[in-house]
């Protein structure tokens, strides 16, 4: 087997020594080429080259969710073809690693490497569904290609939080759970008591859902992690179904207290609920429109402003070693 290992040197939870150990372990079991990413989008370019190659069987992403997202978008640049594309394997190296953990992988890079090697020896794999989003930009001169996401996307509030975190990271701050919590609070201070949201959800054959202030699209569950605590915005979401959506039409102080508490105490059996909450399961396609440009995020990556985004759930899109 020939494999390409895509290494993000800025991965927050793996040292250079740990990466060397992992590379050595993988190289002992396969013909391995390791490439360190050098710029934003490099992992996507490497994934695309692997997809177009005739002799690469597997792409291993060593990094966080952003690295995985880039590799996936490179592999699927011409669309899904699970039987003809290289498989994907993930070794978590970021601060949260939602995709890897949702697959059932250990959150420790060394343990995850051992699990990957066991899966390769056993021929263990699964073909997962993914989300695809295409949208209208917030400015007239911007072009926005369709983009795949592995575990979640959001238009509005949560994307605003991601944007705030990225601004701090650009100033040299580390991406920590404490940083995310602080930015959630600051985003809430700007949103609290907004009575009418700007987002409308439309889907074929159904009445529109209007005045949403928050919209979270999930391709799997949990939605994210707060430390080791899983947070379930859409408990029924799965790699084996379409997309789920959780939306809120109110972010008053009382609503924030209620739904925030429900998220923190959520479980695989029960997510947030109430008269201001909208929960939809197993959607194939829907569109979110906004009256004004709002921030968009996918897999924790801030993608700028959008006024309209169409989401599609694509089943059996990518083969994953797990």
**CATH number of the domain enclosing 140:** 2.60.200.40
Task: Kindly indicate the confidence band of residue 189, based on its pLDDT and cuts at 50, 70 and 90.
Answer: low
| pLDDT of residue 171 exceeding 60 | yes
**CATH number of the domain enclosing 82:** 3.40.50.10330
Of 71, 95, 123, which residue constitutes the final position of a domain? 123
Of 60, 94, 123, which residue constitutes the final position of a domain? 123
User: Is 252 a member of any domain?
Assistant: yes
Model pTM score: 0.91
Candidate from 187-191, 230-234, 287-291 with smallest mean pLDDT: 187-191
Task: Kindly indicate the confidence band of residue 82, based on its pLDDT and cuts at 50, 70 and 90.
Answer: confident
Task: Kindly indicate the confidence band of residue 175, based on its pLDDT and cuts at 50, 70 and 90.
Answer: low
- List alpha helices for the chain, DSSP H: 16-27, 42-52, 65-75, 98-102, 109-122, 157-170, 177-191, 253-264
Rounded to an integer, what distance in angstroms lies between the CA atom of residue 135 and that of residue 288?
A: 9
| pLDDT of residue 50 exceeding 50 | yes
Task: Kindly indicate the confidence band of residue 199, based on its pLDDT and cuts at 50, 70 and 90.
Answer: very high
Identify the pLDDT of residue 136.
73
Check residues 228 and 251 and name the one with the higher pLDDT: 228
Count: domains in the chain: 2
Domain span holding position 102:
2-123
155 lies in the same domain as 289: yes
Q: What whole-number percentage of the chain has pLDDT above 90?
A: 72
Q: Are the beta carbons of 64 and 57 closer than 8 angstroms?
A: no
Identify the pLDDT of residue 64.
94
Per-residue model confidence as pLDDT tens digits over 148-168: 999 999 998 878 877 776 666
Rounded to an integer, what distance in angstroms lies between the CA atom of residue 150 and that of residue 284?
A: 15
Quick one: CA dihedral 85, 91, 97, 99, positive or negative? positive
| pLDDT of residue 230 exceeding 90 | yes
Q: Are the beta carbons of 271 and 235 closer than 8 angstroms?
A: yes
165 lies in the same domain as 205: yes
User: Is 73 a member of any domain?
Assistant: yes
Identify the pLDDT of residue 288.
97
94 lies in the same domain as 221: no
Tokens of 92: 């978590």
Q: Quick one: average pLDDT of 125-153?
A: 85
Identify the pLDDT of residue 42.
98
Identify the pLDDT of residue 157.
81
| pLDDT of residue 285 exceeding 70 | yes
136 lies in the same domain as 229: yes
User: Is 177 a member of any domain?
Assistant: yes
Q: Quick one: average pLDDT of 174-202?
A: 68
Check residues 58 and 169 and name the one with the higher pLDDT: 58
User: Is 139 a member of any domain?
Assistant: yes
Of 106, 123, 140, which residue constitutes the final position of a domain? 123
The pLDDT mean for the chain works out to: 90
Enter the DSSP assignment of 86.
P
User: Is 151 a member of any domain?
Assistant: yes
Q: Quick one: average pLDDT of 237-257?
A: 92
160 lies in the same domain as 33: no
Report the SS3 class of residue 280. strand
Helix, strand, coil % over all residues of the chain, rounded to 5: 30, 35, 35
Identify the pLDDT of residue 141.
47
């Amino acid at each position: 087997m020939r494999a390409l290992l895509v290494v993000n040197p800025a991965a927050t939870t793996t040292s250079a020594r740990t990466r060397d150990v992992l590379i050595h372990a993988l190289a002992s079991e396969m013909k391995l080429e390791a490439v360190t990413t050098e710029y934003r989008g490099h992992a996507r370019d490497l994934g695309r080259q692997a997809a177009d190659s005739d002799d690469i069987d597997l792409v291993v992403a060593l990094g966080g969710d952003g690295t995985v997202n880039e590799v996936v978008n490179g592999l699927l640049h011409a669309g899904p073809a699970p039987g003809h594309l290289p498989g994907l394997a993930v070794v978590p190296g970021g601060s949260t690693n939602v995709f890897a953990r949702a697959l059932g992988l250990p959150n420790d890079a060394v343990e995850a490497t051992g699990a990957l090697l066991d899966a390769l020896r056993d021929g263990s794999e699964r073909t997962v569904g993914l989300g695809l989003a295409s949208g209208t930009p917030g400015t007239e001169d911007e072009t926005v290609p369709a983009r795949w996401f592995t575990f979640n996307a959001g238009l509005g509030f949560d994307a605003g939080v991601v944007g705030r975190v990225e601004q701090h990271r650009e100033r040299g701050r580390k991406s920590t759970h404490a940083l995310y919590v602080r930015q959630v609070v600051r985003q809430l201070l700007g949103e609290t008591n907004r009575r009418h949201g700007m987002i409308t959800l439309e889907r074929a054959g159904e009445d529109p859902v209007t005045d949403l202030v928050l919209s979270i699209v999930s391709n799997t569950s949990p939605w994210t992690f707060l430390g080791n605590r899983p947070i379930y915005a859409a408990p029924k979401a799965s790699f084996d179904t379409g997309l789920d959506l959780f939306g809120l039409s109110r972010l008053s102080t009382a609503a924030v207290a209620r739904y925030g508490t429900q998220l923190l105490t959520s479980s695989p059996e029960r997510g947030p609920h109430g008269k201001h909450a909208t929960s939809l399961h197993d959607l194939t396609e829907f569109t979110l429109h906004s009256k004004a440009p709002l921030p968009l995020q996918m897999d924790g990556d801030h993608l700028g402003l959008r006024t309209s985004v169409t989401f599609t759930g694509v089943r059996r899109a990518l083969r994953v070693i797990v």
